[in-house]
Amino acid sequence: MAARVGVDKWLFFTTLLLVLVGLLMVFSASAVVAQERFNSPYQYVGRQALWALAGVLAMVVLMQVDSNVYKSSRFIYFASCVTTILLVSVFFFPNSHNTHRWIRFGSFFTFQPSELAKPMTVLFLAWFLHTRLDQMRDWKNTLLKAGIMPVVFMLLIVKEPDLGTALVVAGVTALMLILAGMEWKYLGMAAGVALPGLAALLLLVSWRLKRVLVFLNPEADPQGAGFHINQSLIAVGTGGLTGLPRPGPLRAPGSFRHHSYHRASGLFQHQRRAVTGPHQGNSAPAHLFRRHLGIRNPGQHRHSPQHHSKSLLRRAGIRAVFREKLLKGRQDHVQPTNP
């Protein structure tokens, strides 16, 4: 009999919400151009809606598959090999805007393998770590082996180049390792090793450096690269989505940015006090990550079967992918892809 697991309703409806919001954004951005070129504002959003429907149907079908399939080493090895081959194959297709990110079959079908690397990282780490939760101090046989596949994915994605997606894979990997019980010192050591290369990728590539500078000072080019950031700040300053803390006149950009910074700082301080009160030492940050990802504390699962650990890690990784995808989507509006 197929193994049946509960449906994460928050994750399920968040997925549907992202699909609907994505369609709305596509329509908002393409309606005018579609009307001019095709005499129909629905040309682009209609095609996107068909692919969205196909994706939702595929999701429903995959939900019916025996969950033991995704836990088998045969599936993990096969899917990891396929993902790696696809990441390599993009370099044999014609580039677009000086990047090799897509597998294209004419104008009808395009596929970005780096998007497949994200869920594959989650599945691989959940499979690999769930039987090694008591060996997370063994950096040679556990941590090093766990990091090989995500690092291979990240290096191939950086080569495309697509640093943003590579950082998403890195963030998801770090989160899942911390949730599995890895000590923070190992994360610090890995960050120290990666920092020189990351600094070179950011500072020695002109268009990436421009993104960083625009993010730090959007007023330097308010009608160009800093336009989207300034518009977001104006939306918050005028009270969009309860952004205005109390009734009052419209603040100047500097004022509401300053106020928002202090308000955010107070929020984080409150969170830190709430976490570090009953939890001390290394458990406090781990508890914060668990609460951010919607996972109960380890003590709350002490009566659960051991095999649930894989489902918990997998669910945490998928949620992390969604949240980092949203953050990356916001960053992509700062500066277009390098032409």
Domain boundary residue among 32, 50, 65? 65
Q: What average pLDDT does this structure show over 289-304?
A: 48
Query: How many C-beta neighbours within 10 Å does residue 143 have?
Result: 22
Domain boundary residue among 16, 41, 65? 65
pLDDT digits (tens, 9 = 90+) for 198-237: 999 988 888 888 888 888 888 877 887 788 787 777 766 6
User: What pLDDT was estimated at residue 155?
Assistant: 95
Cβ distance 207 to 338 under 8 Å?
Answer: yes
Is residue 241 predicted with pLDDT exceeding 60?
no
Cβ distance 123 to 176 under 8 Å?
Answer: no
Task: Tell me, yes or no, whether 205 and 277 share the same domain.
Answer: no
User: What pLDDT was estimated at residue 152?
Assistant: 95
Q: What average pLDDT does this structure show over 293-297?
A: 49
Task: Tell me, yes or no, whether 51 and 116 share the same domain.
Answer: no
| Location of structure tokens 């109960």 | 296
User: What pLDDT was estimated at residue 10?
Assistant: 84
Which has more pLDDT, 63 or 288? Answer: 63
Cα 56 to Cα 226: distance, rounded to the nearest angstrom: 35
Distance of CA 232 to the CA centre of its chain: 21
Q: What average pLDDT does this structure show over 304-317?
A: 61
User: What pLDDT was estimated at residue 62?
Assistant: 85
Is residue 314 predicted with pLDDT exceeding 90?
no
Mean pLDDT of the chain: 76
Q: What average pLDDT does this structure show over 58-86?
A: 89
Report the range out of 28-32, 52-56, 150-154, 198-202 with the highest average pLDDT: 150-154
- What SS3 class is residue 109? strand
* Residue 153 lies in domain: 66-216+285-339
Domain boundary residue among 65, 96, 116? 65
pLDDT digits (tens, 9 = 90+) for 259-270: 443 433 333 333
Is residue 130 predicted with pLDDT exceeding 80?
yes
Is residue 337 predicted with pLDDT exceeding 50?
no
Which has more pLDDT, 92 or 331? Answer: 92
Task: Tell me, yes or no, whether 123 and 186 share the same domain.
Answer: yes
Task: Tell me, yes or no, whether 117 and 254 share the same domain.
Answer: no
Could you give the angle at the alpha carbon of 261 between the alpha carbons of 259 and 267, nearest 5°? 105
Burial 149-161 (b: 16+ CB within 10 A, else e): bbbebbebbbebb
How many domains does the structure of the chain reveal?
Answer: 3
Task: Tell me, yes or no, whether 189 and 326 share the same domain.
Answer: yes
User: What pLDDT was estimated at residue 287?
Assistant: 47
How would you class 325 by CB atoms within 10 Å of its CB: exposed for 0-12, middle for 13-18, buried for 19 or more?
Answer: middle
Task: Tell me, yes or no, whether 316 and 168 share the same domain.
Answer: yes
User: What pLDDT was estimated at residue 280?
Assistant: 39
User: What pLDDT was estimated at residue 33?
Assistant: 87
